[in-house]
Amino acid sequence: MPHIALPPTGTAAAWREAARACLSARLPPEAVTWSRGAEAGVLFDEGEAPPPVKAGPIRVPAAFVEMAAQVCWHRDPQRFARLYAFLWRLRLKPALMEDAADPALVALRGMEKAVRRDIHKTHAFVRFREVGERDAPRRRFAAWFEPQHLTLEPSAPFFARRFGDMDWLIATPDLTARFEGGVLRLEEGAPRPELTADDAEELWRTYFRNIFNPARANPARMLAEMPRRYWANLPEAQTIPDLLREAEGRVRAMAEAAPKEAPFYARALAARREEAAAPAPAPAGGLAGLVREIEGCRRCPLWEGATRAVAGEGPVDAALALVGEQPGDGEDLGGRPFVGPAGQLLDGVLREAGIARERTYLTNAVKHFKYTLKGRRRIHQSPSGGEIAACRPWLLAELAELRPKLVVALGATAAAALTGRGEGILKRRGRIEEGPDGLPVLLTVHPSFLLRLPDPVLRETETERFREDLVAARTWLEAQQAA
């Protein structure tokens, strides 16, 4: 019966080669035995060396190749045979790999998981000590580690990527990894080297002791993640028994400590702060004062879900004011009106209509963003009549400060806030109606209406009509100024 002795390094790649050879020779699992290295007690039949690779590709699911590459590092002596037996079945039924309930697959997956965990723990728990001069061009470090499985080889590249600018050595009972001048080598295992603690170790223990919160002591959780068998090589682990012993007393001391008087500098700082705090700023009045008041608005519950209130923006002497619906996601984050997708569309149409945005006052009928959450996205929701009414005083106050010549209401919400009626915008658009205090209000659609139109042709026509409404606003204003 052929026996295949795989090398102690490069084991996973060698298994793959050998398994491919056995499979192309149609060697059933019971006709071959496997081992790592030429282990004592295993008979090696020279007459039946592993069969040569035959031509012709063998296809197996990539998921198997990935799994096998891990399982090979497991200490179970049967791992190679189990892998080959599964591969033997897999060649006729590739879908077996997806059958998460197959007992052989479940066992292999279990081994794979154990290996991955052991690699992860190796990455986590290796502790280097400095063995060279601190001011050498390449500093030198060394570590002794005892992994549960044969995982130094698959673990080593991580250290090469991480510690590229230093030389290091990781010795384990099975294998030694040596990284010198940027070259990684694997050698036979060696007895534990003598490594003396360097001075960083005491600092590390200090950190470990102090980052522990005695009021949350939970040794079971610690042990689940950092089992005792790793402790011998972890310098911080020796502090654990003391930390646990002292925890209860430390917590009791905190509970019994009576609140103390504040230190002198706290009183000095408080006094200085009181002194520095200018008398409450007189209501600034004007538009600036209004903006500050809007920021603190609590007239309806919308503020709770929003980042901030978004007040209007534009020159105090603007002749034209544009009123939209409410801030959207982008406006809520950025704090300015009309900066999201609808705002960008509006910018373009304003330019084409010959209206300068920086000479125009832009605001919204409702100042906080109303939305529902869809998973992780905030989806715009139209404000209710109550919310529009709650916010209306702010809009009226803005307009009272500005006294614009003309207001353009963009969409139904703005129309409702300005004319008391939000219905029938498509019929009323382009008309000038009477707004608060007799202000003339030109009605049109909201730019987001255009964004929602799925048909590009329709969107083009509607954008054209929107532009005409804005041109009408400009012409009306020019006529007023000429008169």
Q: Pick one of 48, 98, 317, 352: the residue that binds another protein (CB under 8 A).
A: 98
77-96: which residues touch another protein (CB under 8 A)?
95
| Residue 309 vs 318, nearer CB to another protein | 309
Q: How far is the CB of 199 from another protein (least distance, A)?
A: 9
Q: How far is the CB of 4 from another protein (least distance, A)?
A: 30
Residues sharing a CB contact under 8 Å with residue 370, sequence separation 6 or more, in sequence order? 302, 305, 326, 380, 381, 382, 383, 387
Q: Which two tokens stand for residue 171?
A: 């010795």
377-396: which residues touch another protein (CB under 8 A)?
377-378
Q: Pick one of 128, 338, 394, 466: the residue that binds another protein (CB under 8 A).
A: 128
148-187: which residues touch another protein (CB under 8 A)?
158-166, 182
Please give the C-alpha separations between residue 97 and each of 56, 82, 85, 419, in angstroms, as whole numbers.
22, 14, 13, 68
239-268: which residues touch another protein (CB under 8 A)?
240, 243-244, 247, 251, 253-255, 257, 259-260, 262-263, 265-266
Q: Pick one of 116, 139, 459, 474: the residue that binds another protein (CB under 8 A).
A: 139
Helices and strands in the chain, H and E counts: 17, 14
196 belongs to the binding site for another protein (CB under 8 A): no
Provide the 8-state DSSP code for 313. B
426 belongs to the binding site for another protein (CB under 8 A): no
| Residue 100 vs 483, nearer CB to another protein | 100
Provide the 8-state DSSP code for 324. E
Contact by Cβ (8 Å): 16, 68: yes
Strand partners, 185: 178
3-state secondary structure (DSSP) of residue 142: strand
Q: How far, in Å, CA of 326 to CA of 324, rounded?
A: 6
Q: Sheet harboring 440-444: ordered strands across?
A: 360-364, 320-324, 406-410, 440-444, 432-434
352-371: which residues touch another protein (CB under 8 A)?
371
Q: How far, in Å, CA of 440 to CA of 198, rounded?
A: 81
Quick note: the x/- pattern for another protein over 47-76, rule CB under 8 A, is: ------------------------------
Contact by Cβ (8 Å): 367, 394: yes
Segment (H or E) for 36: strand 33-36
Q: Pick one of 26, 91, 117, 123: the residue that binds another protein (CB under 8 A).
A: 123
34 belongs to the binding site for another protein (CB under 8 A): no
| Residue 250 vs 467, nearer CB to another protein | 250
Q: How far is the CB of 139 from another protein (least distance, A)?
A: 7
Burial annotation 321-357 (CB, 10 A radius, 16+ → b, else e): bbbbbbbbbbbbbebbbbbbebbebbeebbeebebeb
195 belongs to the binding site for another protein (CB under 8 A): no
Q: Pick one of 43, 100, 280, 457: the residue that binds another protein (CB under 8 A).
A: 100
| Residue 95 vs 280, nearer CB to another protein | 95
Q: Pick one of 26, 120, 192, 359: the residue that binds another protein (CB under 8 A).
A: 120
Instruction: Pick the piece of the chain touching another protein (CB under 8 A) from 79-87, 269-277, 444-452, 457-465.
Output: 269-277
Q: How far, in Å, CA of 46 to CA of 274, rounded?
A: 93
Q: How far is the CB of 330 from another protein (least distance, A)?
A: 8
332 belongs to the binding site for another protein (CB under 8 A): yes
